[in-house]
Amino acid sequence: MLTKTKHTKLIVLIDPDKYNPELVDIANTCNVHCFFIGGSKIKDGYFEKTIRSIKSKTKIPLIIFPGDETQISKQADGILILSLISGRNPDYLIGKQVVAAKKIKSSKLKTIPIGYILVNGDKISTTQKITKTNPLSTKKEIIETAIAGELLGKQLIYLESGSGANSTIKNSIINAVKKEISIPLIIGGGINTIQKIKAILKSNPDYIVIGNALEIRPTLLKEISTLFK
């Protein structure tokens, strides 16, 4: 579902609290590889309701990107097992995963272990606030953390500058991490213009995740679709 790619693929992130069914309709006519679904804080019932709506409207795979250990649904096509390896808060390295483990196993969802690395996006992110961890800033620590993630057995590395970040991951960092790891690389955070997408595509990561920008303007998806194969 999320493997190494020859050309960068597009992933659309949906926050159930900000769900717009129009976005799914547009995605059906665009080059969207899959959906991620999840959020930091979700109103009761919105998670399952949104998954049911998305699944009724598309055949595009839907993968849970859990904001916490409660965001699990058998209706999805898979779930990311996130470990915040950029931080040192044990709750987000292993604690939350332990709490959710039995429920995830019984759901029989396809599990995808990911090394999640929060990178400084020149703005305090929701992830930073909730996890009480600091983002990484130097290329050296980002590269070494990504290598450690692969050595720990993660199947993907996700470099995230935070939802609504003021700056995106630099191409020099993307290229350096790609050179050092053999597993797929995902880039997200602050990607809200065609110009930023084009810049990141020069480094050819395996996947780009876009969320906030499409919540604000769903039709942007039509404009950027041709950039992805």
Distance CA 77, CA 73 (A): 9
CATH number at residue 153: 3.20.20.390
| Within-domain flag for 43 | yes
pLDDT by residue (tens digit) across 72-84? 999 999 999 999 9
| Within-domain flag for 2 | no
pLDDT by residue (tens digit) across 21-78? 999 999 999 999 999 999 988 888 899 999 999 999 999 999 999 999 999 999 999 9
Distance CA 11, CA 61 (A): 10
Q: Answer whether residue 135 shows pLDDT above 90.
A: yes
Distance CA 87, CA 83 (A): 9
Q: Note down the domain range covering 165.
A: 9-225
| Within-domain flag for 3 | no
Number of structural domains (the chain) is 1
Q: Answer whether residue 163 shows pLDDT above 90.
A: no
| Within-domain flag for 185 | yes
| Within-domain flag for 1 | no
